[in-house]
Structures are given as structure tokens and as C-alpha cells.
Structure 1
């Protein structure tokens, strides 16, 4: 097993219910609380960015967060922890098209602690795997993605009637469900959350990407917390290269800047793991 070092806590004013991790996660993660949200489910997001704010290199074979974090072990561990706590993991279809996903489960991001993640979900009385939710207005997906055919992780597509027609042309196992939220046009984040709750009741939903999807939830003011890994890399940009920042598709400042409150800061060597709370 790869050697993982404990997170070093530099700052922590979180106020939610404490999580009791099984070993060895308890010694690696340290103190950790669930979001102190007045809403159910609580909605959190997890992203990694370079020092200059790039969240994807937007190049074939280098679309995912691994290239941004440098395939950092602690970042993978945090992703596993958040997935193990989540009832549903939400992702935009663009990421599904770009990456050869086998599933948005804790053991997929950090297989070294698969048994501990399974114990944690059992303690929390959650299903073995979180519901994997993919957002696609037009039904434009890669129908051969492994996550859609392995048959062990439940999958839900949230789409429009147009997208539903396109998706139903493919053959998927019984673990894949499709829900049309409207006839056409952009999908509303509040309707997304309601639809996910119908398929998977729970207390915590996790958004993992991409930048446009995070933008939609921030615009709708329905995000409770953002977990942001700051990787010590400068990726750079060129005009027109399409490398996205953390949020894409909307201007908040200067008219309506959206401010977060730092509630936790952890460190592992030169990587920083920030946690911000937002008002819903």
C-alpha cells in the first residue's frame, strides 16, 4: 500500500457533526465535521486548481484533476473521504465524455482504503455506493463509458425530453435511470436536487465538476461548502486555449461578488486543502 501521511490541520472552525472514521482513516484525516447546513441535503463541491486558477488542462489525455494536482495522494484521499460521506455524486456530462470513468465511488479514487471507506458507509447506514448523477441537457454522452455498464454503481441521468430521447437509443443495464426535467433548455439546479432526492434520499450531495456545473449551483445560491485543493503548480494559459477556471459562464463581481468564509485549512507538504462555507 502506498504510504499516506496525515493531514496537518492549520485552521479549523467547522461546527457540524463530527465524523467517526474507522482506522486508519481516523489518524490520516484527523478532525472532520459534516457541513452545518440548514438545508437537507447539504450540497458541497470538491475541486482542485493550480496556483493560477486552472482546473483542467483541456488537452486530450489530460482533462482530469489528476494532472492539476500532480496525481497527489492526499487529494485522492480527500476525494475518497467526500465520496464515502456522500449519498450522491453529481457530475457534468462533459467530464463523462472526457474521462474513461469507472465510477464515482470512494474506492475508485483511492483504492488503497477501499475497506475503510466501505466500513464508514456501513457505519453511516448508507448504500454501498453513492448514486452517480450525470447532467446532460442534450443527451450527448459517451455510451461506452465503463461506469454505465459495470452494473454495480447506480447511475442517474438528469436531462431534457430531447436528451431523454437520445439517451434511450442506447442499451444500458437496469442500474441506469433517466429522468427528463423539462422539454428543452438549461436545467435548473433546484430541480436537479429535487430529482436526485427522489431517486436517492440523503443528507449530503457532492458536486465534482465541471466549472460550468459549479457555476450553475453558485448562481442559484444553493451550495453550502466548497472543498478546494490548491496545487503548487502554475499551468499557464494562452488566448483561446479553453483552459477553464474554477467557475465559467457567469460574472459575479463587481455587481454581485460571491464571498465564502474559510472554515478549515489543512496541509500536506506543498498542497493546501481549503474549505469554504457559503450562505444559501
Structure 2
């Protein structure tokens, strides 16, 4: 289980190792059975649990091996999802590099995963390179009454959903992604608020966590999972089972499964 990154990097997180289910995950939607995509999270944090280092940025946490594994993970998913804050603060471009496209196309019809952003406010940066991929590969998930600028309709497919307490109904979102768009495997890349919303509702299957050998500190720096008040402290805490562990020098790459036991 504890393996060197460079001794087996060609095999790490390939399609055969990951073996994500494709039949969908059953869950309850409005008191009726429904299906959603298989959901995994990919995050990097410092040893003291910080996901940002300066003004909400990831500067200094991700290494070259971490970026390589991020790209390989993306190559094994139908779509990659991020929150609006991540798009505003980070150069989030969920693309697969040319050297992985041939491997990806053995198992996926599209050479690139669909990039999805979800926003309660509709405050999305128009100049972000995220939009350069074209409308076929970009989706914006918005609240039913969220107002947006006209440019967004030219850059992305827009889907609207009911909200409660100004939060988009994530179960409706996931059902639509699976049933209408055929998204079977969904990779979530933050931010902490989106991660919390999904995990706290039991909409989580795996977590890929890179543990960066740094200490950050700072009350304003975000953690991998957010949430108001004491977060999940008042409920039964989600259980995680370690599925694999790789390392490069002092950096650890962990794969966890969410479990009910």
C-alpha cells in the first residue's frame, strides 16, 4: 500500500486501478429513489490542514508530482466540478494533457472531461481561461433566480435549479448530471464550501488527498472542507477507509473511500 511515486508512476491512478463504478449511485431524491454520479474529491493540503497559503491561493502547496497525478485523475472522469469561489481565485482549467488523451479515449468518448462550475451568486469571472474550451465542454449550474451577464450564455450551457436558503439543491443537480447528461464519474476540486455541502449530505464516495510537507497556519487560510460553526462535529462523522498510499520524498498521496461503518 505504501509505494514510491516514481517507482510505479505509469500505473498510478490509471483506469484499471481506479475502477470507478459506472452504473450510478442510488440515493433518495424528494422521497423517491434516484441515481447520481460516482463522486470523488481531489484536494491538496498542508500538514496542518490548510488548503490555501495566501489570499485564498494554492501557492506553494502543489508539487510537480501532485500536478501529474491531478491530470491523471482528471483523465479518468466524465466531468470535473468546482465552485464559483474556486473559479474566482484559482486558474482552474480541468483539461487533460496531450500525452494522456490516447489512454483516456480507450474508455471515454470525449478527449477532455466536461468542466462544470456551480455558483449560488452567479458572480463568475468572464475573462477566465476556463471558458476557452467552448460551450460543448463547459457547464454553469445556477440557482433558479440567479441573474448573470449575457456573456455566460455564449460560453457555457446553463442549467438552473431550485434553491433553499440561497443554496442550490445539490441532489437535483446530481440527478440531472447522471440522468440527462450521462455523467457517471464526477471529480470535485473544491472549494471547501462545496466539499462540505456534498459531504454533509452524504454525497461523497472517495477522497484523493495530497498531503504537502508544509505548515501554513493562519485563521484566514481555508481548509479542505469548510462549513459554518463546528461543521460536522454535531453529527456522526463520516468514516474514511484508506485504499492506497503513494509518496514522493516527503509528500503523500492518499486515496480514501467514504464508508458507512
Instruction: Judge same fold: TM > 0.5, yes or no.
Output: yes
Q: 2:115 aligns with which of 132, 144, 154?
A: 132
**Separation in 1, partners of 2:87, 2:80:** 13
C-alpha distance after superposition, 1:146-186 (max 9, x if no partner): 221342761111111232x324x22553x511111016620
Once the two structures are superposed, the pairs formed by residues 188-203 of structure 1 within 5 Å of their partners are 188-198=169-179, 200-203=181-184
Q: Evaluate the alpha carbon distance shift between residue 45 and residue 58 of structure 1 in structure 2; reply closer, same or farther with a 3 A threshold.
A: same
| TM norm structure 1 | 0.77
**Separation in 2, partners of 1:33, 1:149:** 29
Q: Evaluate the alpha carbon distance shift between residue 254 and residue 171 of structure 1 in structure 2; reply closer, same or farther with a 3 A threshold.
A: closer
Instruction: State the number of aligned residues.
Output: 242
**Separation in 2, partners of 1:98, 1:199:** 30
Shift of 1:203: 2.4
| Mean CA deviation greater in 33-42 or 214-223 | 33-42
| TM norm structure 2 | 0.83
Runs of 4+ in 1 over 6 A off after TM superposition: none
Is contact 2:71-2:95 (8 Å) kept?
A: yes
- 1:84 and 2:52 matched: no
**Separation in 2, partners of 1:139, 1:150:** 20
- 1:208 and 2:189 matched: yes
* RMSD between superposed Cα atoms in Å: 2.5
**Separation in 2, partners of 1:249, 1:171:** 28
- 1:244 and 2:222 matched: yes
Q: Which has the higher strand share?
A: 2
Q: Which residue of 2 aligns with 1:26?
A: 10
Structure 2 gap segments, 5+ residues each? 26-35
